[in-house]
Amino acid sequence: MTTYDANGVTLEQVREYVWEIPQDGEMRVPARVLASESLLDEISDDKTLEQLQNTTHLPGITDYAICMPDGHQGYGFPVGGVGAMDAENGCISPGAVGYDINCGVRMMTTNLTYDDVRGHERELVDSLFANVPSGLGGGGIVEAGIDTIDEILARGVDWALEHGYAVEDDLRHCEDEGVREEADPAMVSQKAKDRGKNQIGSLGSGNHFLEVQRVTDVFDDEVGAAFGLTADQIVVLIHCGSRGLGHQTCNDYLRKIEQHHQGLLDQLPDKELAAAPAGSQLAEEYYAAMNAAINFAWVNRQLIMHRTREVFERVFDRSWQDMEMELLYDVAHNIAKKETHTVGAASHSADAASGAEPRADETERELYVHRKGATRAFPAGHPEVPAAYRDVGQPVIIPGSMGAGSYVLRGGEASMDLTFGSTAHGAGRLMSRTQAKDEYWGGDVQEELESDHQIYVKAQSGATVAEEAPGVYKDVDEVVRVSDALGIGDKVARTFPVCNIKG
C-alpha cells in the first residue's frame, strides 16, 4: 500500500487521487483527501490535514471528512472541506460553514466576442470600478432600512425581481432559485443587519472580484451548448458573499454556542469547530439565520450583476438584452444544507476498484452537508438541478487567479457517492495574505498582467493586488484535472481574464 507522511499524519492511498487518514482513537470516521501527489505536497504545508482530522470528531459525521483538491488551512474546518452530519443525531457547525456565509460565484454569458471588447478594456474596467462598490466597509448599490433588510433576508432574489433588479430567468438559473425558504430574519442580530444595510450590492475586499473573461476552450460541445458557452465568447464572473452581515452572523452564533454548549466543545480537539447539537434551539436558530444570510448574498451578487449589465450598456451602446447578458448559474461555496444522501455509498464507491461489496448498512438519511470552500456538484438527473440543466448536470464554476484561467464544470456522476455531491471551489491559496504582501508589489503585478497577458486590473489598493497575485494560488489546472479524473466535476469550458476589479 502506498502511504504519504506529512506533519505526523500518515495517509494511505485508497486509489488514484484518493488518500485516507484511517480512523483512530476518538475519530468517529476516517478522513479523505482528494488530490494528486503534487497537490498533496501543497495541502500538507499548513494545518489542513490536522484540521481535517479534527473534523472527524464532530458528532454525527458520516462516512468521511473530506478535503477537496484545492484544500488549505481555514478557521477550525479546512477550506475545501466537506462534512455531512446526521440532521437528527449530529450537529451543525458555523466554523464548518465559514464566516462569509454563501460566499459564491455567478457567471453571466453574453453574445459578445473578444474582438468586440478589444480596445474597450480600459474604459470597461474603469467604468466597472466606478459603478460597482468595492473595498472594506460600507457602500452598496442599495442602502436599506430595517424593513427592506428583513425582506431581503426572507425572500432572497425574489425581492430583487419585484424591485426591478432581476428577471425571471435569473431566478431559474440560480441555486435554489435564489431563496432559502427556511430563512428567518428574526434570528439575525440587529448588529448584523446594521453591518449589512449599506453593503447590498458590493464586492467587499480580499479575494472577491468581478472579472470579464473570454472563453478559450470548450471541452464538451454538447454540455457547452446547453450552458450557452462557445469559444471566444465574453462572459462575466462575480465572486463575493454576504459581507459584514454574514461575518457578524457567524460570529454571533459561535459565541452563543461557546456559552451554551461547552460540554460538546470540551469533547472536540479544537474549539473553532464549535457546533450546536442537531435539534437544539441554537441549531435551529443558526440554521434559520444562516439561510437568511444566504439569501442576502444572493441578492448581493444579483445587484452587482444588474449594475454590470448597465455598465455594458453604456460602454457598448446596446441594451443588455441585445447583448444576451444572461445568468448561466450562481452557486454557493460556503454553506450548510439539509440534504438526503445514501450513507455508506461513499465508502463503497471509493473502494469499488478493489472489488468491494455493497455495504449492508447503506441507508438514506437527512444530513447537514457542510461545504466550506467547496461547491455543490449534482449530476444529470438529480431533481435539485435546475430544469434547464437537468439533462446534462449542474453547472460548477471554478475561479482561478487573476493570471490564470477559470473553469466551468458540470456535476459528475461519481460526486454523490464520493463527496456528497461536491467538488472544489477554486485554485486554493498557497500563501497567507501577509506572506503575499512580502513577496509581491501590487503595482508590479498590475503592470506585468497588462503587459504580458493583456489583463487590465483595478483595485482599491496595491496591497489587495499583491494579496491576490497569481503566484499566491495553487495550479487551478491541476485542481480541475483531479476533479475531472475522479468524476466529481467534469470539464466543460475554460476561460481567461480580460479585465478584473477588486476591493
DSSP assignment of 442-496 equals HHHHHHHHHHHH--EEEES-HHHHHHT-GGGB--HHHHHHHHHHHTSEEEEEEEE
| Identity of residue 419 | T
Q: Which residues fall within 8 angstroms of residue 249, CB to CB, at 6 or more apart?
A: 101, 188, 189, 192, 242, 289, 290, 292, 293
> Cell triple for residue 203?
464586492
Q: What pLDDT, on the 0 to 100 scale, is given for residue 350?
A: 42
Q: At what angle do helices 281-316 and 146-155 cross, to 10 degrees?
A: 100
> For residues 95 and 274, is the Cβ–Cβ distance under 8 A?
yes
Q: What pLDDT, on the 0 to 100 scale, is given for residue 360?
A: 52
**Closest to 333 (Cα-Cα) out of 101, 488, 154, 156:** 101
Residue 239 counted as an annotated binding residue: yes
Q: What is the pTM of this model?
A: 0.95
Count the neighbouring beta carbons within 10 Å of the beta carbon of residue 338.
13
E strand residue ranges, 29-171: 31-34, 65-72, 79-86, 91-92, 104-113
103: left (phi over 0), alpha (psi -120 to 50) or beta: beta
Q: How far is CA 67 from the centre of its chain?
A: 14
Q: What pLDDT, on the 0 to 100 scale, is given for residue 384?
A: 95
CA distance 419 to 80: 11
Residue 333 counted as an annotated binding residue: yes
CA distance 471 to 468: 8
> Cell triple for residue 262?
461547552
- Residue positions annotated with a catalytic role: 425
Residue 402 counted as an annotated binding residue: yes
> Cell triple for residue 226?
446547453
> For residues 117 and 497, is the Cβ–Cβ distance under 8 A?
no
Q: What pLDDT, on the 0 to 100 scale, is given for residue 347?
A: 47
Residue 426 counted as an annotated binding residue: yes
Residue 400 counted as an annotated binding residue: yes
Residue 427 counted as an annotated binding residue: yes
> Cell triple for residue 301?
451578487
> Cell triple for residue 357?
461489496
Residue 100 counted as an annotated binding residue: yes
Residue 401 counted as an annotated binding residue: yes
The DSSP element (H or E) to which 235 belongs, if any, is strand 233-240
**Closest to 49 (Cα-Cα) out of 59, 41, 38:** 41
Q: Which residues fall within 8 angstroms of residue 116, CB to CB, at 6 or more apart?
A: 234, 316
Q: Quickly tell me which residue has 455594458 as its cell.
A: 312
Residue 57 counted as an annotated binding residue: no
> Cell triple for residue 188?
439575525
CA distance 301 to 246: 14
Residue 228 counted as an annotated binding residue: no
Q: What pLDDT, on the 0 to 100 scale, is given for residue 494?
A: 98
Residue 126 counted as an annotated binding residue: no
CA distance 28 to 65: 10
Residue 36 counted as an annotated binding residue: no
Residues of the chain with pLDDT under 50: 346-359
DSSP helix/strand/coil, 286: helix
Q: What is the radius of gyration, based on Cα positions, of the chain? A: 21
**Closest to 188 (Cα-Cα) out of 259, 96, 103, 292:** 292
**Closest to 204 (Cα-Cα) out of 135, 138, 300:** 135
